[in-house]
Amino acid sequence: MRKGLIALWNIILKDMRAYYLKPPNISWGLIFPIAWTGMFFIKSGTGFETIPTLLPGVIAISVLFGTTSMLAVTVTFEKKNHSFERLLLAPITLNTLMLAKTSGAIFFGSINAIVPVILAMLLTDISTISWLIVLPAIFLIAVASTFLGLFIAVSVSEVFEAQTFSNFFRFPMIFLCGLFFPIDALPVFLRPLSYMLPLTYGVDILRGAVTGTNTMHLGLDFFAIIFFCTALFYISLRNINRKWIN
């Protein structure tokens, strides 16, 4: 157990040093949420008081973009240069290994969410936000997005494929999760797709916590996103077992 924890912690530390805390990533983590906030704000054409209504969307997108591609790219990169095999050879369970690999991305994604929150704090009053709901929601969106990144990483073999495949999931997700258009305003045949996306539930939780305009019961939202996290993790583990230890 102790040895497993030492391995887990050091994999997280190594990934932080080697990938996540590199200057380009830190600057991306800062610029990206600022750009999204600015874009939403200019588009709305209103005053600072509307920032809380933009906040759930910006948080969700920052986390989604900060996690999916990073994990997909780093795992694919390590798989490509065979250093991932070194990890597979370590006497730790596959669950421990993948938890370690995903923890860095979850942490990085969660930190990305803090940037728009700090911006909002500086520009307007957000004292009414229910942080006890926002923080677990940010964490769960980061977990779901990271596990989606893991799912992508297992499905591709080249780094550029990881990027392309990430976008294949991310862009439809942004448009279908209720960020830009309410789900009820989408064509009937697209609505079931919206409810098959983890981000839909994450965004709904954030809306509920920030503006009180959630469309589903928060309990259902939490249940759904936890379900997606678990399913994506175990599907990825099964795929790793099938494809990488063959």
Would you tell me which residues interact with another protein (CB under 8 A)? 2-4, 6-7, 9-11, 14, 17-18, 81-83, 85-93, 245-246
Q: Which of 119-133 are b and which e, b meaning 16 or more Cβ less than 10 Å from the residue's Cβ?
A: bbeeeeebeebeeeb
Select 95 or 164, whichever has its Cβ closest to another protein: 95
**Nearest-approach distance from CB 99 to another protein, in angstroms:** 14
Select 3 or 217, whichever has its Cβ closest to another protein: 3
- CB within 8 Å of 95: residues ≥ 6 apart: 237
How many whole angstroms separate alpha carbon 17 and alpha carbon 120? 29
Select 96 or 167, whichever has its Cβ closest to another protein: 96
**Nearest-approach distance from CB 27 to another protein, in angstroms:** 18
**Nearest-approach distance from CB 20 to another protein, in angstroms:** 12
Q: Which two tokens stand for residue 62?
A: 């920052």
**Nearest-approach distance from CB 229 to another protein, in angstroms:** 25
- Cβ 84 vs Cβ 18: under 8 Å: no
Select 86 or 187, whichever has its Cβ closest to another protein: 86
How many whole angstroms separate alpha carbon 68 and alpha carbon 99? 15
- Distance of CA 137 to CAs 17, 195, 222, Å? 26, 17, 8
Neighbours of 217 (CB within 10 A): 11
Select 11 or 197, whichever has its Cβ closest to another protein: 11
**Nearest-approach distance from CB 16 to another protein, in angstroms:** 12
* Cα-based angle 221, 226, 228 (whole degrees, multiple of 5): 95
